[in-house]
Structures are given as C-alpha cells and as structure tokens.
C-alpha cells in the first residue's frame, strides 16, 4: 500500500487514534513472542518482503522504484531499478528463483535476479488493462492469485482479484471490492484470504478445486487506521495481518478471532509481515512511513511459501 496523506496534522491524529483502537481490540496477548527489534533502516516506502533459499531478504522500495535486499550477512543493497516510482509493490518468489512482482503500471512481472531481465506475466484481462496490481500469492501448482486495487475505494468499489494459471489463463474472482490489498492462501489451498483495505476488513473466500469461488464472507472487522495490508500465515493457520497506519500486525485465528496485536516501536505505516530465519520462526515486519524493517521471534513457524521447498 502506498498512498500518502498530505496534511501532516491529520496523519498524526489519525495514527494515534488507530494505535489506541488497535490495542482496544486485543484484551491480552495470546501468543508467545519475543521483543520487537529493529533490523534495518531503508528508504523509499518499503513493502513486499520475501526470503530466498540463501537467507537474503528481498523487498520493494515503492516510492523510488527499487527492488532491494538485505543479504544474509547483513548488507543493505539496492539491487534493481525499475525506473518507475510508485510502481512495484507486493512480491513473492517462484521455484525458478525469479521474483514475481505486482507492478502498478506494468501488471504482474517476473524479475530474474541472475540476469536482471523482466518478463511479463499478465497486464490485462479480456483486453482491459488492470487497475494496478498490488499483492500476490502463489499456490503449489504455480498459479498466481493477485489483487488489483488502484483507483478504487468505498466510493468506487471496482477492485479486482484475479487468478493466473501456470499456463497463462486469467480468471477474474472479484470485481467489486474497495481497494483489495493483501492476499494469501490456507495451507490446504481451499481458502483464499483477501484484505479489503478501504472497508477495514478481512475476507475469507472458500475455493473450488479449479480455483474458482465456492462462497465468501467477511471474517474479521478492524477499527481505526486505514485498513489491512499484506499478510502471512503460520503453520497453525493463524493470520499475521499488517494493518496500515495502526503501527503493527494483528494475529488472527483461522476462525477470525483477534488473538494479539504486535506493535512496532516506531512508525504506524505497517505494510507487511513475512516469516524467515533458519527455523522460519522469526516474523519480519515492514514499516513504510519511517522505512524500517523489524523482526520478532515467535514460538510457531510460518507457513512455507510456494518456493520454499527446502523447509
């Protein structure tokens, strides 16, 4: 998510209220975790963190258009310049080692880190260009689910969710959402989670075997902030939902109950949470107003992603 408020005073007051409301939704912490620690000071409105098999943490600097990484030995590197500010956003990795990126202007693209070449995966549906893709998840067969929110909102609920098969077939799952943002799948791939940011809620979508929708409903409502952004799941099916302008990550049970709120020490622009570390039990959180990456140790491991066949 990469929208900016122009009135600084409004931003501060809204942010403080959001933090108070977030805390009010959680009575007591119900997950075991360590302290939240600062890992990196980056630049350019950060999003889309994902680990590769060598332990490098890749992320997007949306505001500058860079694809960057924090290497396994702790070096901050600007790796690839897309040359389009406010373009690249959500990012995952496929089993070829390519970075699959949702790009506001270019659609869904693949970046090969070895050659630094870009390949187009999808940029339109039935001849009409996407609104502007935001986030994605890849299933075990290589099919890509992604959100397409740009220019949409409560006033114009035409945000889409799409599925691109490994052979290039595109299916539209939604076309009526108010800024669909983060997206993820349950471990059995029968449930798709969609963060509808501008209605401040998380949707639970039951899928048929062919990836089409069987049914869908609102799973969790949030208070304050702008709305839910990127998310990850743990092996128990709990959702770690970053909430933009609330300064933290909600932990939500598979049934939609809010279990915890992991607040970050600085900044309210929490855009994403992803698992990493040798045992996959460290949650990494991106905060985009101050461009900080945080980490926190958890007792439960993260759900492996499509490319993480080594876990």
- Quick check: is 16 in a domain? yes
- Quick check: is 310 in a domain? no
CA distance 285 to 74: 16
Indicate the number of domains in the chain.
Answer: 1
The residue count of the chain comes to 311
Report the pLDDT value the prediction gives residue 306, as an integer from 0 to 100: 79
Q: Is 20 helix (H, G, I), strand (E, B) or coil?
A: helix
CB of 264 closer than 8 Å to CB of 281: no
Q: Which residue range is the domain that position 124 belongs to? A: 8-297
Report the pLDDT value the prediction gives residue 29, as an integer from 0 to 100: 56
Q: Identify the CA nearest to 301 among candidates 272, 278, 279.
A: 279
- Quick check: is 289 in a domain? yes
- pTM of the predicted model, to two decimals? 0.91
Cross-strand pairs, 276: 282
Query: One digit per residue, pLDDT tens: the chain, 311 residues?
Result: 444 433 334 444 445 445 445 555 554 557 999 999 999 999 999 999 999 999 999 999 999 999 999 999 999 999 999 999 999 999 999 999 999 999 999 999 999 999 999 999 999 999 999 999 999 999 999 999 999 999 999 999 999 999 999 899 999 999 999 999 999 999 999 999 999 999 999 999 999 999 999 999 999 999 999 999 999 999 999 999 999 999 999 999 999 999 999 999 999 999 999 999 999 999 999 999 999 999 999 999 999 987 775 43
CATH number at residue 112: 2.120.10.30
Q: Is 55 helix (H, G, I), strand (E, B) or coil?
A: coil
Report the pLDDT value the prediction gives residue 42, as an integer from 0 to 100: 96
CA distance 12 to 23: 17
- Quick check: is 3 in a domain? no
Q: Give yes or no: 229 in active site.
A: yes
- Quick check: is 307 in a domain? no
Report the pLDDT value the prediction gives residue 81, as an integer from 0 to 100: 97
Both tokens of 86, joined, read 């406010």
- Quick check: is 197 in a domain? yes
- Quick check: is 20 in a domain? yes
Report the pLDDT value the prediction gives residue 310, as an integer from 0 to 100: 41
Report the pLDDT value the prediction gives residue 46, as an integer from 0 to 100: 97
Report the pLDDT value the prediction gives residue 28, as an integer from 0 to 100: 55
**Beta strand ranges found along 6-75 (DSSP E):** 37-41, 46-51, 57-61, 66-70
Report the pLDDT value the prediction gives residue 307, as an integer from 0 to 100: 75
- Quick check: is 308 in a domain? no
**Distance, C-alpha 222 to centroid of its chain:** 17
- Set 229, 234, 245, 260: catalytic member: 229
The dihedral region occupied by 72, where left means phi > 0, alpha psi between -120 and 50, and beta the remainder, is alpha
Report the pLDDT value the prediction gives residue 200, as an integer from 0 to 100: 98
CA distance 277 to 296: 11
Strands 128-129 and 136-138: unpaired
């Amino acid at each position: 998510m990469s929208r900016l408020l122009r009135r600084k005073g409004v931003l501060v007051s809204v942010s403080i209220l959001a933090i108070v409301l977030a805390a009010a939704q959680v009575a007591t912490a119900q997950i075991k975790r360590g302290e939240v620690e600062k890992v990196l000071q980056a630049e350019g409105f950060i999003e889309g963190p994902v680990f590769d098999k060598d332990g490098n943490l890749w992320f997007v600097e949306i505001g500058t258009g860079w694809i960057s990484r924090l290497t396994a030995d702790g070096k901050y590197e600007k790796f690839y310049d897309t040359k389009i500010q406010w373009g690249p956003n959500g990012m995952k990795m496929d089993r070829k080692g390519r970075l699959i990126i949702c790009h506001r202007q270019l659609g869904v693209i693949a970046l090969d880190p070895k050659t630094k070449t870009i390949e187009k995966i999808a940029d339109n549906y039935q001849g009409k260009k996407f609104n502007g893709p935001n986030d994605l998840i890849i299933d075990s067969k290589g099919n890509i689910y992604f959100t397409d929110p740009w220019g949409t909102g409560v006033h114009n609920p035409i945000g889409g969710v799409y599925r691109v098969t490994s052979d290039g077939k595109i299916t539209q799952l939604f076309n009526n959402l108010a800024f669909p943002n983060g997206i993820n799948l349950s471990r059995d791939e029968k449930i798709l989670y969609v963060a509808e940011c501008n209605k401040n809620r998380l949707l639970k979508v039951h899928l048929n075997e062919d990836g089409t929708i069987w049914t869908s409903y609102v799973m969790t409502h949030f208070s304050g902030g702008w709305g839910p952004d990127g998310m990850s799941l743990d092996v128990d099916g709990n959702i770690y939902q970053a909430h933009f302008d609330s300064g933290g990550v909600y932990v939500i049970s598979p049934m939609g109950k809010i279990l915890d709120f992991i607040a970050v020490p600085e900044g309210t622009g929490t855009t994403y949470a992803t698992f990493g570390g040798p045992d996959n039990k460290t949650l990494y959180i991106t905060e985009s107003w101050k461009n900080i990456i945080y980490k926190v140790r958890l007792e439960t491991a993260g759900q492996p992603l499509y490319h993480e066949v080594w876990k």
